[in-house]
Amino acid sequence: MIAADERWSRAASAGRRAVEGLRFARPERLTGPAGDGIGAGIGQSIEFMDFREYEPGDDPRRIDWSAYARSDRLVVRRFREDIRPTVEVYLDDSASMDLEGTPKGDAALALASACVDAARRAGYAAGLWRAASDRAHPLAAPELWPGYETRSGAPPRVGGGARPPATGAVRVLISDLLLRADLDEFVRRFSRGSRWPIVINVLAREDVTAPPGAPCSLRLVDRETGDVMQIEVDEDVRRGFDDRARRFRDSCRGACRRARATFVSVIAEDIFRDACGAEALIEAGVLVGR
């Protein structure tokens, strides 16, 4: 249980401070509900897009009479649609995200807060969602969140709740991706219908690095399932584990590439050292303009 208000407030503040002066990037042709932004489709904005032949049923106010006078043809003017782009931040609130003895949970909260804050600064309608929540209700203002509770045994189920994800929205998943499910399938499902899927892979250092020191015997307890595994750790095991962790991160990156999702990998321990991962987000093109 890491749901203390103070803890969340501190992490959220850290995330906001880290992205001060930064805003979420806005790719072209975003879709979304009507708003003050320019969408990719044809709409009622004042942003001219192109001409086309008049067709019966077209609004006569859109006919370009000057063009009719010059060419004796009826053409209508078309304009960009007015939209309000949306950023949906899904926070993996499974138990593995709050590994005790590591800043993994705080890092995930700070990143979520940073993404929401930067998105709003960029004119997005931003919201934070619990990826594994059955009820999946939006949490509009991070600082007002009642708490961040982790649950054991529940993998992130983006879109699995009562609320379907918004089509054409920017979708951000903050997760360690330590899933027993098919990773490709999971990322593909997450990316489906999203204009810009972004996967931020948050891991604790000990998730990807074997424990150092003398050879020892460890009783490993799965944070989510409670499963226990006894293992003798020596140099061979350490090397094997490090190699497997490296291949896991490579597979995450590959799954995102195949799903055309932006992949950002951060180590929780490094988050608070290099401005809450802002540098990694800037490097991936998620944040811009300091």
Partner 1 sequence: MLAEPIALLGLLGLIPLTALYLLHRRSKPRPVSSLLLWEHMARHRVGGRRVDRLRTPLSYVLECLALASLALAAAGLLIRADSARPPLVLVLDNSLSMTAQRGDGVSSRERADVARPFQGVSSAASSRKRAERALRQEWSNDPPVAVVLAGSRPRSLSAADRATPDAVFARWTTDEPAADMAAAYALARDIGGPRARLMVVTDRAPEPAGTPISPEVRWRAFGRLIDNVGLVNAVRDGRSVLVEVCNFGTLATERSVRILVGDAIGAASAGDPGRTERVSLAPGERKRLRFAVTAPGRTVSVTMEGDALAFDDRLTLAPTDRPPLRAAVRMMDRALQGAITRALASSGLAIAVDESAEIEFTDGPALPTPLRWVVAFTTPSEPAQSQVHSGPFAVDQSHPIGEGLDLSGVVWAAPNIAAEFDPGDTPVIVAGATTLLSERTSADAGRSMRVVLDARRSNITSHPAWPVLIWNMLAWRDAAKPGPERANVPIGRPVRVRVLTPECRHIDPDGNATSARAIGGVISLECNRAGLHRVEAGAAAYSFAVLPVAPAESDLAAAATMEQGRWPDEQAGQPGVHSLAWLIGLVALGVLIGHAWLLASRGASA
Say if strands 287-288 and 23-24 run parallel, antiparallel, or are unpaired: antiparallel
Are residues 15 and 117 in contact, defined by beta-carbon separation less than 8 angstroms? yes
Which of residues 4 and 221 has its CB atom nearest to partner 1 in the complex?
221
- Touching partner 1, residues 199-228 (CB under 8 A): 203-204, 206-207, 211-225, 227-228
We find the least distance from the C-beta atom of residue 133 to partner 1, in angstroms, to be: 19
Q: Which amino acid is at 121?
A: R
* Binding mask of the shown chain, residues 244 to 283, with x at each position contacting partner 1 by CB under 8 A: xx--x-----------------------------------
Which of residues 140 and 220 has its CB atom nearest to partner 1 in the complex?
220
We find the least distance from the C-beta atom of residue 123 to partner 1, in angstroms, to be: 35
We find the least distance from the C-beta atom of residue 201 to partner 1, in angstroms, to be: 12
Which of residues 60 and 101 has its CB atom nearest to partner 1 in the complex?
101
* Binding mask of the shown chain, residues 149 to 178, with x at each position contacting partner 1 by CB under 8 A: ---------------------------x-x
CB atoms within 10 A of CB 223: 19
| Whole-angstrom distance, CA of residue 262 vs CA of residue 92 | 17
- Touching partner 1, residues 77-136 (CB under 8 A): 96-97, 99-101, 104
Which of residues 64 and 206 has its CB atom nearest to partner 1 in the complex?
206
We find the least distance from the C-beta atom of residue 32 to partner 1, in angstroms, to be: 34
The length of the chain in residues reads 290
Which of residues 243 and 274 has its CB atom nearest to partner 1 in the complex?
243
Are residues 196 and 262 in contact, defined by beta-carbon separation less than 8 angstroms? yes
Which of 61, 135, 180, 273 touches partner 1 (CB under 8 A)? Answer: 180
Give the residue from 272, 275, 253 showing the smallest Cα distance to 263. 253
We find the least distance from the C-beta atom of residue 178 to partner 1, in angstroms, to be: 4
Q: Does 232 bind partner 1 (CB under 8 A)?
A: yes
In sequence order, what are the beta bridge partners of 259? none
Residues 6 or more apart whose CB falls under 8 angstroms from that of 266 comprise 107, 111, 200, 201, 202, 203, 277, 280
We find the least distance from the C-beta atom of residue 99 to partner 1, in angstroms, to be: 5
Q: Does 237 bind partner 1 (CB under 8 A)?
A: yes
Give the residue from 127, 157, 256 showing the smallest Cα distance to 200. 256
Three-state SS for 177? Answer: coil
DSSP state of 241: H
Which of residues 44 and 225 has its CB atom nearest to partner 1 in the complex?
225
Backbone angles phi, psi at 218, to 5 degrees: -120, 145
By CB under 8 A, the count of residues binding partner 1 is 42
Cα 77 to Cα 59, 194, 219, 241, 244, distances in angstroms: 10, 29, 70, 62, 58
We find the least distance from the C-beta atom of residue 177 to partner 1, in angstroms, to be: 10
Would you state the structure tokens that stand for residue 114, as one six-digit string? 């940073």
Residues that bind partner 1 in the complex, under the rule CB under 8 A: 96-97, 99-101, 104, 176, 178-180, 203-204, 206-207, 211-225, 227-232, 234, 237, 240-241, 244-245, 248
